Amino acid sequence: MMSAVTELGYLGLSVSNLAAWRDYAAGLIGLEAFEEEGDAGRLFLRMDRWHHRIELIEGGGDDLLYLGWRVAGPLELDEMEDKLRKAGLAVERRSSAEAVNRHVLGLIRLMSPGGIPTEIFYGPQVDNHKPFHPGRPMFGRFVTGEQGLGHVVVNEPDVEAAVRFYQLLGLRGSVEYLLSAPGGGQIALTFMKVNDRQHSIAFGVPNSTKQINHVMLEYSELDDLGIAHDQVRARRIPIAMALGKHANDAALSFYSATPSGWLVELGWGGCKAGAQQEYHRRDIFGHEVAQQGFGLDDLRLANEPDKAV
Ligand SMILES: [Fe+2]
């Protein structure tokens, strides 16, 4: 049995405005934000019983710092390290101090083909004694568990190399959208999965300037998505892609700008990953580009009004 990651467990972000992020993450999205004593310039975001799912580090960049993929335990981590080394990848075994810093028992680290710092870990700290306390009232919860924290769309310019890399980690997937490009030709978007979540990572968005395009977080209750949508509009936060329903994961979602200038996709109602590959030419409804400049400008996911359905 080849070792494989089981889920996207955590991620880290560099942010220039920690206060704005606290307000956006806790007050708008509903994440639980907290600091640890003596840890200035560092904010943890909690979604469930885990110690945290997202770490914010104050500093320049306003981009992704790392992704953390989970394996079951120490044996699986050793097997994964061995497999990656045999594939010729430069893997670092990180120190126990770094594991403590990440609130996990052990981790290795390597780079994806696109330069995404990729950590593989086991044994996250799970605070079962501490109920999740949302940053604003919520009707439900965040969909996590075996599906991990959500999904990310990242910059992997060499898509073929990226597919091989994530396959080594244990993910599967291929192109799920073939979209007409504005200047002619087609844009292919690749989605990869590793558990019941329809996808955990995707790439292929052209002209990316940041390592991260968006992170998607999923609500269990539609009304929580509605509250977030009201809040985004009340605060006049740019909505890069309007409310709509994706053809692949069936999630009702919209994309709003984070204080770091990239996007959070908030969603509800995502379907489970299917066993077979399929691709789509557009979304079911909505998802028109509502504001330019957030890396989604060329994605014609929305129905073009002048064309018949
Ligand atoms: Fe997404």
pLDDT at 1: 55
Ligand 1 center–CA 216 separation, angstroms: 5
Whether 190 and 174 have beta carbons less than 8 Å apart is answered as yes
Ligand 1 center–CA 129 separation, angstroms: 32
Return the CA Rg of the chain: 19
Residue 137 has pLDDT above 80, yes or no: yes
Six-digit token string for 90: 């430069």
**CA gap 241, 29 in Å, rounded:** 17
Counting Cβ atoms within 10 Å, is residue 276 exposed (0-12), middle (13-18) or buried (19+)?
exposed
- Whose CA is closest to 13, among 48, 41, 51? 41
Six-digit token string for 139: 């009707």
- Find all residues with CB under 8 Å of 305, minimum gap 6, and list them: none
Counts of helices then strands in the chain (DSSP H, E): 5, 17
Helix 74-86 vs helix 159-169: crossing angle, to nearest 10:
140
The residues whose Cβ lies within 5 A of ligand 1, an ion, are 216, 265
> pLDDT band at 306, cuts 50/70/90?
low
CA-to-CA dists, residue 281 to 168, 246, 261, angstroms: 28, 11, 28
For residue 27, the SS3 value is helix
Ligand 1 center–CA 149 separation, angstroms: 13
Instruction: Pick the range with the lowest mean pLDDT from 46-55, 109-118, 299-308.
Output: 299-308
pLDDT per residue over 149-191, tens digit each?
999 999 999 999 999 999 999 999 999 999 999 889 999 999 9
pLDDT at 287: 97
For residue 254, the SS3 value is strand
